[in-house]
Chain A
Amino acid sequence: EDKVVQSPLSLVVHEGDTVTLNCSYEVTNFRSLLWYKQEKKAPTFLFMLTSSGIEKKSGRLSSILDKKELSSILNITATQTGDSAIYLCAGYNAGNMLTFGGGTRLMVKP
């Protein structure tokens, strides 16, 4: 059974801090890993990672995949209150099925 674990479960920081969220996976015949941000309702897509060691970047957010360590990190620099959300990661297996982790709840205080 495929498994994705995220850490920490929750995190409280102040505006301007840098945070690193972790995602580890045990996915049969792993294909790719996705990161989503969920504020109140629908998760919104952030990144898809398929190649190890190649950083994806969007503004203050960046993510990288380490296939050797079966893990990924999501970095957020200069955090803002608008970054407060649940961050979800999910891994695809060869059967094109996606398994989600439990999420990391980030709260950014002013």
Chain B
Amino acid sequence: DGGITQSPKYLFRKEGQNVTLSCEQNLNHDAMYWYRQDPGQGLRLIYYSQIVNDFQKGDIAEGYSVSREKKESFPLTVTSAQKNPTAFYLCASKVIAVTGELFFGEGSRLTVL
């Protein structure tokens, strides 16, 4: 079955540590996105990528980094520079240049201790 796989589902981190969240898709989508969701709130865009080896900052990119070395993979690193990293992180993908459905992974919940 085609879809988006995020891992880990739950992650605990000590302050000052970098962590990397994995996102893999087998939908053959060119565009991939990372969103952050805080409790009871909507989705805010962190980074997006429309092609391999290229990505752009979203609205809240500070303290995060990404890479896009393969079409299928778009990992997100939450760095120690992110002041309030505890949140739910969602990865998504879609067909490029189409204003259509955005497909989501199951999410990764990061808690900083």
A residues engaging B (CB < 8 A)?
4, 6, 9-10, 31-32, 34, 41-45, 48, 50, 86, 88, 90, 92, 96, 98, 100-103, 105
Contacts and interface: CB of A to CB of B under 8 A. Distances in A.
Interface of B: 35, 40-44, 90, 96-107
A32 B35 CA distance: 20
Given A42-B105, A42-B106, A102 B41 contact: yes
B43 to A, nearest CB: 4
Q: Is the interface of A mostly helix, strand, loop or mixed?
A: strand
Contact of B42 (A34, A45, A92, A102): A102
Contacts of B35: 100
A101 B42 contact: yes
A42 B101 contact: no
A105 B101 contact: no
A42 to B, nearest CB: 4
B101 A48 contact: yes
Contacts of B96: 96
Contact of A103 (B41, B90, B100, B101): B41
Contacts of A50: 99
Contacts of B42: 4, 6, 88, 100-103
